[in-house]
Amino acid sequence: MRSNGPVTLSLPPFRGITRRIVLTAIVVFFAIALLGLIWPELARLAIGLLILQPEVSLHRLIWEFVTYPFVSGGLLSLLFSLLSVWFFGSALEDERGSRWLGEYFFLTTIGGGLLASILAYAAIDHVSGFRLGLNTYGLWPEVLALLVAFAWFHAEDELRLYFLIRMKAKYLAAIWLLVYLATALIGGDRFGALTALCVALCGYVYLRFAPRQGLRFAASEKWFGVRNAYYRAKRRRAAKKFTVYMKKQGKDASIDESGRYVDPSGTPRDPNDKRWMN
């Protein structure tokens, strides 16, 4: 368990789903950069197939809702976004597990991108600043979602960034969100700002309403519960048929409520004794 004292963000372990996200972004960046040197037209085509574009993502290129975070606009932006994913992603993965972090990352990515695309596409003809040709890419919206999750679980914890800045996680999340939105809006990237807001909103909704161990875990538990209930009912029906059969043979067979055979001598049954399994 993490302590309630100040948290110093030093380089954490590099493993799990966090490592996969970071390595995927690095591979895509250098692959596009290399392709741009060899075949610029193909590099532009690849970028067009990976970044989020409401006009085509909602109709044909649905995979863009997953791929847009892994395209970066520059090496410096990629470096700082990957460091942020590494810091906050590793901290969350250590506490919540790789399955939870993977589910949170991709659900907020897809949900935020889908919501932003729907809103922007509906507003193209009505709101100034939203026009045809909208697109966005990069990990910064997902960094904001991770920071929202970290602040959700550690709102009062103090973070020390490079020994220079010290503040509570909830304030850092709010300031980071405002700074990113201000930068995006000043730069004219309204769709990028909208995507960041939608991704952060999806993160909040997930944290607020999703089961503690994630939707996937809850769904699997529900499925196994239904499956086991079916098997228990099937076993009880078979036990009843066996009881009827034994009575026809002039013998009594005792069956418990789970459909298991009960020793007529009354000897307590050892649940670990495999001879009693049926």
- In tens, the pLDDT along 33-74 reads 999 999 999 999 999 999 998 888 888 889 999 999 999 888
CA dihedral angle for residue 188, residue 121, residue 178, residue 141, rounded to 10 degrees: -100
Three-state SS at 154:
coil
Give residue-wise pLDDT tens across range 108-139. Answer: 999 999 999 988 877 755 554 555 568 899 99
Q: State residue 193's pLDDT score.
A: 87
pLDDT above 70 for 146: yes
Contact between 65 and 57 (Cβ < 8 Å) = yes
Residue 85 CA, chain-centre distance (Å), reads 13
| Fold designation for 7-210 | Rhomboid-like fold (1.20.1540)
pTM of structure: 0.75
Would you kindly state where each structural domain of the chain is located, as residue ranges? 7-210, 218-276
The gap between the terminal CA atoms of the chain, to the nearest Å, is 42
